[in-house]
Protein backbone atom coordinates (compact mmCIF):
# COMPACT_ATOMS: atom_id res chain seq x y z
CA UNK A 1 0.00 0.00 0.00
CA UNK A 2 1.40 3.38 -1.08
CA UNK A 3 2.19 5.48 2.00
CA UNK A 4 1.62 8.69 0.04
CA UNK A 5 -1.99 7.63 -0.49
CA UNK A 6 -2.40 6.98 3.22
CA UNK A 7 -0.93 10.39 4.07
CA UNK A 8 -3.26 12.13 1.60
CA UNK A 9 -6.26 10.24 2.97
CA UNK A 10 -5.46 11.19 6.57
CA UNK A 11 -4.83 14.83 5.67
CA UNK A 12 -8.23 15.10 3.95
CA UNK A 13 -9.92 13.31 6.86
CA UNK A 14 -8.39 15.71 9.39
CA UNK A 15 -8.78 18.90 7.35
CA UNK A 16 -12.20 18.07 5.89
CA UNK A 17 -11.11 19.66 2.63
CA UNK A 18 -9.02 18.46 -0.31
CA UNK A 19 -7.41 21.86 -0.94
CA UNK A 20 -6.38 22.37 2.70
CA UNK A 21 -4.99 18.83 2.78
CA UNK A 22 -2.92 19.58 -0.33
CA UNK A 23 -1.53 22.76 1.24
CA UNK A 24 -0.60 20.89 4.42
CA UNK A 25 1.22 18.21 2.44
CA UNK A 26 2.84 20.64 -0.03
CA UNK A 27 1.13 18.78 -2.87
CA UNK A 28 -1.27 19.84 -5.58
CA UNK A 29 -5.00 19.31 -4.98
CA UNK A 30 -5.08 17.10 -8.08
CA UNK A 31 -2.43 14.74 -6.65
CA UNK A 32 -4.23 14.48 -3.30
CA UNK A 33 -7.52 13.75 -5.07
CA UNK A 34 -5.80 11.13 -7.23
CA UNK A 35 -4.23 9.47 -4.15
CA UNK A 36 -7.62 9.17 -2.43
CA UNK A 37 -9.28 7.80 -5.56
CA UNK A 38 -6.49 5.24 -6.02
CA UNK A 39 -6.81 4.18 -2.38
CA UNK A 40 -10.59 3.78 -2.76
CA UNK A 41 -10.10 1.58 -5.82
CA UNK A 42 -7.47 -0.48 -4.00
CA UNK A 43 -9.76 -1.03 -1.00
CA UNK A 44 -12.92 -1.41 -3.08
CA UNK A 45 -14.90 1.06 -0.92
CA UNK A 46 -15.74 4.76 -0.95
CA UNK A 47 -13.90 6.59 1.83
CA UNK A 48 -15.37 10.08 1.45
CA UNK A 49 -18.62 11.72 0.48
CA UNK A 50 -17.61 14.69 -1.63
CA UNK A 51 -20.28 17.37 -1.11
CA UNK A 52 -19.60 18.25 1.61
CA UNK A 53 -16.38 16.34 2.21
CA UNK A 54 -16.90 13.90 5.03
CA UNK A 55 -15.86 10.37 5.89
CA UNK A 56 -18.11 7.47 5.01
CA UNK A 57 -18.60 4.75 7.64
CA UNK A 58 -15.85 2.76 5.89
CA UNK A 59 -13.61 5.83 5.89
CA UNK A 60 -14.16 6.37 9.61
CA UNK A 61 -13.10 2.81 10.32
CA UNK A 62 -10.07 3.11 8.05
CA UNK A 63 -8.71 6.26 9.76
CA UNK A 64 -7.36 4.29 12.74
CA UNK A 65 -5.73 1.72 10.49
CA UNK A 66 -4.10 4.43 8.37
CA UNK A 67 -2.70 6.17 11.44
CA UNK A 68 -1.33 2.88 12.76
CA UNK A 69 0.31 2.04 9.44
CA UNK A 70 1.99 5.44 9.16
CA UNK A 71 3.08 5.34 12.81
CA UNK A 72 4.57 1.88 12.26
CA UNK A 73 6.52 3.18 9.27
CA UNK A 74 7.79 6.17 11.27
CA UNK A 75 8.89 3.81 14.04
CA UNK A 76 10.65 1.58 11.51
CA UNK A 77 12.51 4.51 9.99
CA UNK A 78 13.55 5.76 13.45
CA UNK A 79 14.72 2.30 14.45
CA UNK A 80 16.80 1.90 11.30
CA UNK A 81 18.32 5.35 11.83
CA UNK A 82 19.21 4.41 15.41
CA UNK A 83 20.80 1.19 14.22
CA UNK A 84 22.84 3.16 11.66
CA UNK A 85 24.01 5.53 14.38
CA UNK A 86 25.00 2.61 16.61
CA UNK A 87 27.00 1.09 13.73
CA UNK A 88 29.34 4.11 13.70
CA UNK A 89 31.70 5.14 16.49
CA UNK A 90 32.82 8.77 16.33
CA UNK A 91 36.22 9.20 17.98
CA UNK A 92 37.35 12.66 18.99
CA UNK A 93 41.09 13.28 19.19
CA UNK A 94 42.61 16.38 20.79
CA UNK A 95 46.21 17.08 19.80
CA UNK A 96 48.07 13.74 19.64
CA UNK A 97 45.44 12.02 21.77
CA UNK A 98 46.97 9.42 24.04
CA UNK A 99 50.05 9.11 21.84
CA UNK A 100 50.80 5.59 20.56
CA UNK A 101 47.89 4.19 22.55
CA UNK A 102 45.40 5.97 20.31
CA UNK A 103 46.03 3.93 17.12
CA UNK A 104 46.59 0.79 19.20
CA UNK A 105 43.13 1.09 20.76
CA UNK A 106 41.49 1.84 17.41
CA UNK A 107 43.15 -1.19 15.79
CA UNK A 108 42.12 -3.44 18.67
CA UNK A 109 38.55 -2.16 18.42
CA UNK A 110 38.48 -2.85 14.68
CA UNK A 111 39.56 -6.44 15.32
CA UNK A 112 36.94 -6.86 18.05
CA UNK A 113 34.07 -5.11 16.25
CA UNK A 114 34.82 -5.04 12.51
CA UNK A 115 31.18 -4.28 11.70
CA UNK A 116 31.40 -0.88 13.42
CA UNK A 117 32.52 1.98 11.20
CA UNK A 118 34.95 4.42 12.84
CA UNK A 119 34.98 8.17 12.20
CA UNK A 120 37.71 10.46 13.50
CA UNK A 121 36.97 14.02 14.59
CA UNK A 122 39.81 16.46 15.34
CA UNK A 123 39.00 18.45 18.49
CA UNK A 124 40.32 21.88 19.32
CA UNK A 125 41.15 23.13 22.81
CA UNK A 126 37.68 24.62 23.36
CA UNK A 127 36.00 21.20 22.88
CA UNK A 128 37.45 19.61 25.98
CA UNK A 129 33.94 18.57 27.16
CA UNK A 130 31.48 20.10 24.70
CA UNK A 131 32.17 17.66 21.86
CA UNK A 132 30.86 14.84 24.05
CA UNK A 133 27.92 16.53 25.74
CA UNK A 134 26.72 17.94 22.41
CA UNK A 135 26.99 14.46 20.83
CA UNK A 136 29.57 15.53 18.26
CA UNK A 137 31.64 12.47 19.24
CA UNK A 138 31.02 9.26 21.22
CA UNK A 139 34.44 8.97 22.86
CA UNK A 140 37.31 11.44 23.04
CA UNK A 141 41.05 11.29 23.67
CA UNK A 142 41.66 14.51 25.62
CA UNK A 143 43.78 16.06 28.34
CA UNK A 144 43.51 16.86 31.19
CA UNK A 145 40.80 14.62 32.68
CA UNK A 146 37.48 16.50 32.56
CA UNK A 147 35.92 17.21 35.95
CA UNK A 148 32.28 17.02 34.87
CA UNK A 149 29.56 14.71 36.16
CA UNK A 150 28.28 14.23 32.61
CA UNK A 151 31.58 12.67 31.54
CA UNK A 152 33.16 9.33 32.46
CA UNK A 153 36.96 9.17 32.33
CA UNK A 154 39.53 6.40 31.85
CA UNK A 155 43.12 7.51 32.51
CA UNK A 156 45.40 6.19 29.77
CA UNK A 157 48.74 7.97 30.16
CA UNK A 158 50.53 9.86 32.93
CA UNK A 159 53.27 11.96 31.40
CA UNK A 160 55.84 14.59 32.22
CA UNK A 161 55.04 18.17 31.25
CA UNK A 162 56.95 20.17 28.66
CA UNK A 163 56.92 23.73 27.39
CA UNK A 164 56.99 24.53 23.69
CA UNK A 165 59.11 27.62 23.05
CA UNK A 166 60.57 29.48 20.07
CA UNK A 167 64.00 28.16 19.09
CA UNK A 168 65.25 31.77 19.22
CA UNK A 169 64.59 32.09 22.97
CA UNK A 170 67.41 31.52 25.44
CA UNK A 171 65.27 28.93 27.24
CA UNK A 172 65.40 26.71 24.16
CA UNK A 173 69.05 25.90 24.85
CA UNK A 174 68.31 24.40 28.27
CA UNK A 175 68.13 20.58 28.51
CA UNK A 176 65.35 21.01 31.09
CA UNK A 177 63.72 23.73 33.17
CA UNK A 178 61.81 24.14 36.39
CA UNK A 179 58.43 25.76 36.99
CA UNK A 180 60.10 28.91 38.27
CA UNK A 181 61.70 29.30 34.84
CA UNK A 182 58.46 29.13 32.87
CA UNK A 183 55.69 30.78 34.88
CA UNK A 184 56.55 34.26 33.62
CA UNK A 185 56.71 33.28 29.96
CA UNK A 186 54.20 34.93 27.60
CA UNK A 187 51.91 31.99 26.92
CA UNK A 188 49.87 31.87 23.74
CA UNK A 189 46.33 33.01 24.60
CA UNK A 190 43.19 30.86 24.41
CA UNK A 191 39.69 32.04 23.45
CA UNK A 192 37.47 33.23 26.31
CA UNK A 193 35.13 30.24 25.88
CA UNK A 194 37.91 27.71 26.45
CA UNK A 195 37.01 25.53 29.48
CA UNK A 196 38.72 26.79 32.61
CA UNK A 197 40.10 23.35 33.35
CA UNK A 198 41.98 23.27 30.04
CA UNK A 199 43.38 26.79 30.36
CA UNK A 200 44.52 25.99 33.92
CA UNK A 201 46.33 22.95 32.53
CA UNK A 202 48.00 24.90 29.74
CA UNK A 203 49.17 27.73 32.02
CA UNK A 204 50.31 25.60 35.02
CA UNK A 205 47.66 27.38 37.12
CA UNK A 206 48.22 25.31 40.25
CA UNK A 207 51.83 26.47 40.45
CA UNK A 208 50.83 30.12 40.05
CA UNK A 209 48.98 30.33 43.34
CA UNK A 210 46.03 32.09 41.76
CA UNK A 211 48.05 34.61 39.74
CA UNK A 212 47.10 35.13 36.10
CA UNK A 213 49.59 34.07 33.44
CA UNK A 214 51.29 36.44 31.05
CA UNK A 215 49.59 36.04 27.68
CA UNK A 216 50.97 36.87 24.29
CA UNK A 217 48.86 38.80 21.82
CA UNK A 218 48.46 35.68 19.67
CA UNK A 219 45.66 33.13 20.11
CA UNK A 220 45.51 29.41 19.34
CA UNK A 221 42.97 26.58 19.56
CA UNK A 222 44.94 23.78 17.86
CA UNK A 223 48.47 22.36 18.16
CA UNK A 224 49.22 23.58 14.62
CA UNK A 225 48.39 27.15 15.67
CA UNK A 226 50.51 26.84 18.82
CA UNK A 227 53.50 25.63 16.84
CA UNK A 228 53.28 28.19 14.06
CA UNK A 229 52.88 30.96 16.62
CA UNK A 230 55.83 29.71 18.69
CA UNK A 231 57.99 29.31 15.58
CA UNK A 232 57.32 32.97 14.82
CA UNK A 233 58.64 33.88 18.28
CA UNK A 234 55.26 35.13 19.48
CA UNK A 235 54.64 32.99 22.56
CA UNK A 236 55.01 29.68 24.40
CA UNK A 237 52.74 26.71 24.87
CA UNK A 238 52.75 23.62 27.04
CA UNK A 239 51.93 19.96 26.51
CA UNK A 240 52.62 16.40 27.59
CA UNK A 241 55.99 14.84 26.82
CA UNK A 242 54.65 12.64 24.00
CA UNK A 243 53.69 15.82 22.10
CA UNK A 244 57.27 16.29 20.88
CA UNK A 245 57.27 12.87 19.20
CA UNK A 246 54.26 13.83 17.10
CA UNK A 247 54.96 17.49 16.38
CA UNK A 248 58.62 18.11 15.50
CA UNK A 249 58.36 21.64 14.16
CA UNK A 250 61.14 23.83 12.72
CA UNK A 251 61.69 26.90 14.84
CA UNK A 252 60.35 25.36 18.05
CA UNK A 253 61.85 23.41 20.92
CA UNK A 254 60.15 21.25 23.55
CA UNK A 255 61.77 21.52 26.97
CA UNK A 256 60.91 19.20 29.91
CA UNK A 257 59.64 20.89 33.10
CA UNK A 258 61.23 18.74 35.79
CA UNK A 259 59.19 19.74 38.84
CA UNK A 260 55.79 20.13 37.20
CA UNK A 261 53.32 17.50 38.43
CA UNK A 262 52.71 14.81 35.79
CA UNK A 263 49.45 15.11 33.91
CA UNK A 264 47.08 12.59 32.36
CA UNK A 265 45.68 12.01 28.94
CA UNK A 266 42.35 10.22 29.12
CA UNK A 267 39.60 8.59 27.17
CA UNK A 268 36.35 10.40 27.94
CA UNK A 269 32.79 9.29 27.19
CA UNK A 270 29.30 10.36 28.19
CA UNK A 271 28.56 8.97 31.64
CA UNK A 272 25.07 7.82 30.65
CA UNK A 273 26.04 6.28 27.29
CA UNK A 274 24.89 2.65 27.13
CA UNK A 275 26.10 2.03 23.58
CA UNK A 276 27.84 -1.40 23.61
CA UNK A 277 30.44 -0.14 21.13
CA UNK A 278 31.44 2.63 23.54
CA UNK A 279 31.75 0.14 26.41
CA UNK A 280 33.92 -2.14 24.27
CA UNK A 281 36.14 0.74 23.19
CA UNK A 282 36.61 1.94 26.78
CA UNK A 283 37.43 -1.56 28.00
CA UNK A 284 40.04 -2.09 25.29
CA UNK A 285 41.59 1.32 25.96
CA UNK A 286 41.93 0.65 29.68
CA UNK A 287 43.41 -2.79 29.07
CA UNK A 288 45.96 -1.58 26.52
CA UNK A 289 46.95 1.35 28.74
CA UNK A 290 47.89 -1.10 31.49
CA UNK A 291 49.70 -3.40 29.09
CA UNK A 292 51.45 -0.98 26.73
CA UNK A 293 51.76 2.26 28.69
CA UNK A 294 55.08 1.48 30.45
CA UNK A 295 56.61 0.08 27.25
CA UNK A 296 55.62 3.11 25.18
CA UNK A 297 57.11 5.64 27.62
CA UNK A 298 53.60 6.79 28.54
CA UNK A 299 54.09 6.57 32.29
CA UNK A 300 55.87 9.41 34.06
CA UNK A 301 59.05 8.48 35.90
Domains of the chain: which residue ranges? Answer: 3-81, 87-157+264-292, 161-256
Beta-bridged to residue 93, according to DSSP, are 122, 141
pLDDT at 85: 53
Identify the H or E element spanning 215: strand 214-219
Class of domain 161-256: alpha beta
From the options 1.10.3720.10, 3.90.1150.10, 3.40.190.10, 3.50.30.60, give the CATH code of 87-157+264-292: 3.40.190.10
**φ and ψ of 247, to 5 deg:** -130, 55
Q: Do domains 87-157+264-292 and 161-256 have the same CATH topology?
A: yes
Longest CA pairwise span in the chain (Å): 94
Beta-bridged to residue 49, according to DSSP, are 54
Q: Which of 167, 188, 189 is nearest to 255 (CA)?
A: 167
Task: Note whether 284 and 112 are within 8 A (CB).
Answer: yes
Q: Which of 207, 202, 211 is nearest to 235 (CA)?
A: 202
Helix (H, G, I), strand (E, B), or coil: what is residue 275? coil
Class of domain 3-81: mainly alpha
pLDDT at 87: 87
Residue 61 to residue 240: CA distance in whole angstroms: 69
pLDDT at 160: 96
Q: Which of 294, 5, 1 is nearest to 159 (CA)?
A: 294
pLDDT digits (tens), the chain, 301 positions: 788 899 999 999 999 999 999 998 889 999 999 999 999 999 999 999 988 999 999 999 999 999 998 888 888 776 665 655 568 999 999 999 999 999 999 999 999 999 999 999 999 999 999 999 999 999 999 999 999 999 999 999 999 999 999 999 999 999 999 999 999 999 999 998 999 999 999 999 999 887 889 999 999 999 999 999 999 999 999 999 999 999 999 999 999 999 999 999 999 999 999 999 999 999 999 999 999 877 776 776 5
Predicted structure pTM score:
0.72
Beta-bridged to residue 270, according to DSSP, are 151
Amino acid sequence: MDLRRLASFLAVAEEGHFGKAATRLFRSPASVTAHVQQLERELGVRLFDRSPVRLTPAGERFVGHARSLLAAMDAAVADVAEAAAESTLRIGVMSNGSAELTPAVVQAFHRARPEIRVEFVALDFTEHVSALVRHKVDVAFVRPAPDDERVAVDVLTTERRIVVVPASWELADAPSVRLADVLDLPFIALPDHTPRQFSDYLYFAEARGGLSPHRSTSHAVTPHEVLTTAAAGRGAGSALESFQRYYPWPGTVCVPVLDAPPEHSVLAARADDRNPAVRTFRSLAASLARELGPRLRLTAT
